[in-house]
Each structure stands twice: as structure tokens, then as C-alpha cells.
């Protein structure tokens, strides 16, 4: 079922678009371009246009362009006092260190997200290369592709300006006042460990971050630096936290256009993963590796960065199927192979 978009298009880059669907236009939408296949991220300015405190949600990546854009934006408005970072991915946290320095603002995050950010930021190129080489070898990628991926080194640090020293920790169930608005803090796993979403009953608005997106499905990866757990099962169960939100809640996603239709969209996300799981089960009558499944799940050429996301996504599905007993794993010459549990 299609979602119900509230606007036909995003605002021009570098402007604060006051959202007239929100009472008092107390949310400003900032569209920031990104130099990736996913070519933008939505950032939010919370608070009354004319008076009271202002808060920023997410920053975009570190780059000369995004800094210049923020400098122009901040020249047109009162000084924000608070910054909330939804999760540690670079398009959300990239300028957090810089922003705190510029504004002297407080920075709010969840505990697991700041820990993950600090770990990724501190890792050396060699840590990345050796961790990835071991991981992708174990999952059947050929040497040439492993070199392509591992030679990227630490892809995180160059697009993150540094991290705030002091962070105000938030956790699920708390209420926080940002931009003079009371927000209920929700956190979801799967896309990242403890991603913050914000819900305002008063405004009937959900800032969904990357947990629910209108057009693409959030990347759910089992990754080399954190390969315990079951991120897809975690993600699917985390969607239950939205169950009691109103049918007509306005959803502000980090990518794509604001929309109504949260519940149909969540149903669609669940179906998408069900289909993927089915497809893998059909493909695993004989033992297969994650690498074997790349052309089955992704029918396009993948550059090294996309290959990392694709392998992670495939492995999260394999993990769920293994944990639920539908697949069994065996290591053949050091490479993990998966096959349907009932197959001869």
C-alpha cells in the first residue's frame, strides 16, 4: 500500500522549510544533499519560528559543503541550544562535534549510539582492513572483491567531524523537551543499536529517523565489527513500539518525504523482509554462502561500499533463518555455508 505523502517535493537544499502541516509550524525541514547513492538526508529544526528555544535533530556528514550550508542556515535563525543525534551513522552525526563547538549547545544521544560512534571513529584503517578481510573471507567473497572493500580503510572517520565530549544520554520511555516541545523518546534496534525516534502527542508527529522510511527499507546489517545478535529479528520486533501511535500520525523520516500511513508502511516493511527470507530459503536447497546470494538478492552491480551494505543485509537474513532453525550452517574450508534444515 502506498504511503500518503504530505508534500510533493523536498524543499530546496539549504533552506529551513517551516512545515505548515504541524501546528504553529514549530518544525523546520532542512534537506541536505549527500554525495552517495542515497543522495540526501532530512534534518529538523524544532521550535517556534519567532520565540523560545530551538533544537536541531541530526547534522549531515562532515564536508565543506555541509558546514557552509549550516553556517548560512544558522545566520538566519536564533541560536539553537540543543542538538539531538538519532544514531551514529555519519549522515546523522557527521557534524556533531563541530556543531557543539560552534553553538556551545547540549548534545543528546542514546548510550549505545555514542559508544558505537566512538569505537568507529577511533578504529584505524588497519583495524577495518583486517576485520573485513577475515569476515568477508568467512562469507565466501573472492579475494579481489575483499581487497576492494578492505582497501577503503576506515570509511567512517573522514566524514565525521569529531564527536562531542559531553553527551546527555537519553533512553526509551523518557520525555525530553526540545525546541519547547515535549517529546517521548523511543529507541529501536536493527538498523543501529539504539536509534532514537521522537514522538510528540501534542503535534501528532513522529520523527522516525531511519527506523521507518517511506520508499526504501532501512539497511539491516550483520556486520564484521559486531557480529553477535540477530539484527533483523531485533528490527522487526522494534517496529512494535509504534503500534499504539495514531493512524494519521505525521511521520518525518530521515530519507524521503514526510508522510502519513505509518502502519501500512510498517506492514510493507515486514512483507519485504518475509519475501527476502523466502527467496533465501528457496535458494538454499544446496549449501550457499552469503556471497553466492548476492546476485539473487541484488540484481545490479554493487560498488565496494554498496557491497558492504548488501553483504550485511544478506547476513542479517541468514542469521534470522539460522537462529529460527530454518537454515543450518556448516563451515567448508573455513567458509560458512547455509542450507535449508530439512534438505537431504
Q: Which residues bind Zn ion (CB under 5 A)?
A: 89, 210
Residue among 41 and 73 whose Cβ is closer to Zn ion: 41
Helices of type H across 141-221: 143-150
Query: CA-CA distance, 65 to 143, in Å (whole number)?
Result: 36
Residue among 47 and 253 whose Cβ is closer to Zn ion: 253
Neighbouring-strand partners of residue 28: 18, 45
Query: CA-CA distance, 220 to 192, in Å (whole number)?
Result: 8
Nearest approach, Cβ of 192 to Zn ion (angstroms)? 6
Contacts of 79 (CB under 8 A, 6+ apart): 54, 103, 105
Task: Kindly report the length of the chain.
Answer: 344
How many helices (H) and strands (E) in the chain?
10, 16
Nearest approach, Cβ of 194 to Zn ion (angstroms)? 12
Per the CB < 8 A criterion, the answer to whether 40 and 11 are in contact is: no
Helical (H) or strand (E) element with 281: helix 262-283
DSSP per position, 122-161 = H--HHHHHHHHHHHHHHTT--HHHHHHHHTT--SSGGG--
4-5 sheet: strands from edge to edge: 4-5, 259-260, 250-253, 205-209, 195-200, 181-188, 175-178
Nearest approach, Cβ of 72 to Zn ion (angstroms)? 25
Query: Which residue is at the shortest CB distance from Zn ion?
Result: 89
Nearest approach, Cβ of 190 to Zn ion (angstroms)? 11
Residue among 210 and 230 whose Cβ is closer to Zn ion: 210
Residue among 28 and 253 whose Cβ is closer to Zn ion: 253
Nearest approach, Cβ of 92 to Zn ion (angstroms)? 6
Residue among 32 and 327 whose Cβ is closer to Zn ion: 32
Residue among 113 and 210 whose Cβ is closer to Zn ion: 210
Residue among 26 and 116 whose Cβ is closer to Zn ion: 116
Nearest approach, Cβ of 90 to Zn ion (angstroms)? 9
Nearest approach, Cβ of 313 to Zn ion (angstroms)? 13
Amino acid at each position: 500500500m502506498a504511503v500518503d505523502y504530505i508534500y510533493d517535493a523536498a524543499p530546496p537544499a539549504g533552506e529551513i522549510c517551516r512545515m505548515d502541516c504541524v501546528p504553529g509550524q514549530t518544525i523546520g525541514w532542512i534537506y541536505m544533499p549527500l554525495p552517495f547513492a542515497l543522495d540526501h538526508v532530512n534534518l529538523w529544526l524544532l521550535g517556534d519560528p519567532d520565540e523560545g528555544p530551538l533544537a536541531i535533530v541530526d547534522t549531515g556528514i562532515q564536508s565543506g559543503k555541509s558546514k557552509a550550508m549550516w553556517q548560512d542556515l544558522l545566520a538566519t535563525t536564533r541560536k539553537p541550544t540543543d542538538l539531538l543525534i538519532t544514531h551514529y551513522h555519519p549522515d546523522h552525526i557527521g557534524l556533531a562535534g563541530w556543531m557543539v563547538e560552534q553553538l556551545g549547545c547540549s548534545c543528546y544521544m542514546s548510550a549505545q549510539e555514542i559508544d558505537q560512534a566512538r569505537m568507529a571513529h577511533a578504529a584505524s584503517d588497519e583495524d577495518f582492513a583486517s576485520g573485513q578481510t577475515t569476515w568477508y573471507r568467512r562469507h565466501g567473497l573472492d579475494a579481489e572483491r575483499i581487497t576492494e572493500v578492505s582497501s577503503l580503510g576506515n570509511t567512517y572517520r573522514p566524514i565525521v567531524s569529531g564527536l562531542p565530549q559531553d553527551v546527555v544520554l537519553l533512553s526509551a520511555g523518557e520525555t525530553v523537551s526540545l525546541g519547547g516541545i515535549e517529546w517521548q523518546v523511543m529507541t529501536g534496534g536493527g538498523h543501529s543499536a539504539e536509534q532514537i525516534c521522537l514522538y510528540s502527542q501534542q503535534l501528532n508527529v513522529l520523527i522516525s529517523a531511519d527506523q521507518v522510511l517511506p520508499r526504501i527499507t532501512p539497511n539491516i546489517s550483520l556486520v564484521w565489527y559486531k557480529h553477535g545478535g540477530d539484527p533483523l529479528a531485533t528490527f522487526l520486533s522494534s517496529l512494535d513500539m509504534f503500534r499504539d501511535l495514531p493512524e494519521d500520525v505525521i511521520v518525518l523520516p530521515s530519507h524521503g518525504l514526510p508522510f502519513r500511513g505509518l502502519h501500512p508502511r510498517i506492514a510493507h516493511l515486514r512483507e519485504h523482509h518475509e519475501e527476502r527470507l523466502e527467496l533465501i530459503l528457496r535458494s538454499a536447497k544446496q549449501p550457499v554462502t552469503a556471497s553466492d546470494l548476492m546476485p539473487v538478492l541484488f540484481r545490479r552491480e554493487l560498488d565496494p561500499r554498496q557491497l558492504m551494505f548488501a553483504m550485511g543485509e544478506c547476513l542479517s537474513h541468514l542469521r534470522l533463518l539460522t537462529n529460527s532453525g530454518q537454515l543450518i550452517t556448516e563451515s567448508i574450508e573455513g567458509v560458512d555455508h547455509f542450507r535449508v534444515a530439512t534438505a537431504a
